[in-house]
Amino acid sequence: MKSKLVLLFSILLITAADVVGQTNISFNSTNGFKVIPLGVKGGLDESNLSAYLVAARGSDQFICLDAGTIYKGLELAAAKKLFKSTNPSTIQQEQINGYFISHAHLDHTAGLIMNSPNDNAKNLYGLASVLDVFKKNYFTWSAWANFGNEGEAPILKKYTYQTLAPTKEIAIENTGLFVTPFVLSHVKPYESTAFLVRNQNSYLLYLGDTGADKVEQSEQLAALWKTVAPLVMNEQLKGIFIEVSFDNSIPEKALFGHLTPNLLMEEMGKLNQLSNGQLNNTPLYVTHIKPCDGCEIKIKSEIQKANQIGLNIFYPSQASLIELK
């Protein structure tokens, strides 16, 4: 009898190990997320460009959503003791498990490219249109060096290109996280991406650069809002990170695929309506503000004025810790 129980217990252990390997569940994590912005702006300061580390709450294994700034953000965050290591290169190598690039513009990719010599092997995720820019323009020997696993020889194979299929969820090894991409319009017909990140039954939504549907003559945001509205109503969506690049004085024809405070609130109004007026339960983080004298103050004032539905709005700062529960 004793030997049978030992055998049964061994089988259960093996089965549990197989399940963990198949689903990438981290038993140390809990619902919610830990976010560390490595950069939050849309230019001009190359030391503070869009890049957001995201981990399951309770975990120290991250993915990186966009990668405009890497080293400087890690250096500042390490100085605030947000990591166990104080070495930015060590943190990049050991705690970033892959990069999700929304689109290939340099303010979302420069940190990855410049720090690639000090990185280790990992995956680079993006839509086919995004990865093609890395293959043809960035990771080439005429521009930098080919750290990818395709393209111009010699191929260094540090980064493995992983082409994302829109609306198809994938698991990220070693993190407990799952990511679903959605296509956005960023100066039609060019594409950007929104990433819906899942940890167990909680979600985080990060949008790369995007124009409003009415300006882009698109329905990409409408489709995204329809998808996430049930998550808002069920209080599963723990945060939305979305750009506002310019103030309301910029004409629509000069936005080049970006949002203003008024356009942001028009889009949030649509999502709030689909969510039965419950969007004020989901924190909204405004990203990618373009720099100019007085622009940030003006944008924040215009957002506050346009926020007639009472949303909880925040502005992430570089090398800070955001906990979404």
Q: 284-315: buried (b, 16+ CB within 10 Å) or exposed (e) per residue?
A: bbbbbbbeeeeeeebbbebbeebbeeebebee
Q: What percent of the chain has pLDDT over 90?
A: 89
Average pLDDT for residues 298-317, to the nearest whole number?
A: 97
Residue 115 has pLDDT above 60, yes or no: yes
| Other beta carbons less than 10 A from residue 28's beta carbon | 12
Residue-level pLDDT at 30: 83
Q: 169-205: buried (b, 16+ CB within 10 Å) or exposed (e) per residue?
A: eeebeebbbbbbbbbbbbbeebbbbbbbbbbbebbbb
For residue range 90-104, list pLDDT tens digits in order.
999 999 999 999 999
Residue-level pLDDT at 16: 31
Q: How many residues comprise the chain?
A: 325
Considering only CA atoms, which of 53, 92, 74 is closest in space to residue 195?
Answer: 53
How confident is the prediction for the chain on average, in pLDDT? 92
Asked if 258 contacts 245 with a C-beta cutoff of 8 angstroms, the reply is yes
Residue 259 has pLDDT above 70, yes or no: yes
Selected residue with higher pLDDT from 14 and 253: 253
Alpha-carbon distances of 82 from 35, 37, 87, 202, rounded to whole Å:
11, 11, 12, 23
For residue 9, give the H/E element and its range.
helix 2-23
Asked if 107 contacts 70 with a C-beta cutoff of 8 angstroms, the reply is no
Residue with structure tokens 């490595």? 38
Full DSSP string of 246-300: S-TTS-GGGSSS---HHHHHHHHHHHHHHTTT-GGGS-EEEE-PPP-TTHHHHHH
- How far apart are the C-alpha atoms of 292 and 317, rounded to whole Å? 17
Residue-level pLDDT at 28: 57
Q: What percent of the chain has pLDDT over 70?
A: 91
77-81, 219-223, 289-293, range with the lowest pLDDT? 289-293
12-21, 66-75, 172-181, range with the lowest pLDDT? 12-21
Residue 146 has pLDDT above 90, yes or no: yes
Average pLDDT for residues 255-274, to the nearest whole number?
A: 98
Phi and psi at residue 157, in whole multiples of 5°?
Answer: 60, 35
Question: What is the sign, positive or negative, of the torsion defined by CA atoms of 259, 265, 267, 272?
Answer: positive
Asked if 269 contacts 309 with a C-beta cutoff of 8 angstroms, the reply is yes
Average pLDDT for residues 75-88, to the nearest whole number?
A: 98
3-state class of 130 per DSSP? helix
Residue-level pLDDT at 260: 98
What's the start-to-end Cα distance of the chain, in Å?
Answer: 46
Considering only CA atoms, which of 171, 119, 172, 115 is closest in space to residue 138?
Answer: 115
Residue-level pLDDT at 29: 67
Q: 45-77: buried (b, 16+ CB within 10 Å) or exposed (e) per residue?
A: ebbbbbbbbbbbbebbbbbbbbbbbbbbbbbbb
Domains and CATH numbers, the chain: 29-324 (3.60.15.10)
Residue-level pLDDT at 23: 34
Asked if 313 contacts 241 with a C-beta cutoff of 8 angstroms, the reply is no
Give the dihedral of Cα atoms 22, 125, 50, 196; nearest 10 deg: -50
Token reading at 51: 């890049």
3-state class of 219 per DSSP? coil
Residue 7 has pLDDT above 60, yes or no: no
Residue-level pLDDT at 3: 37
For residue range 41-62, list pLDDT tens digits in order.
998 899 999 999 999 999 999 9
Selected residue with higher pLDDT from 30 and 300: 300
For residue range 194-211, list pLDDT tens digits in order.
999 999 999 999 999 999
pTM of the shown model: 0.91
Residue 150 has pLDDT above 90, yes or no: yes
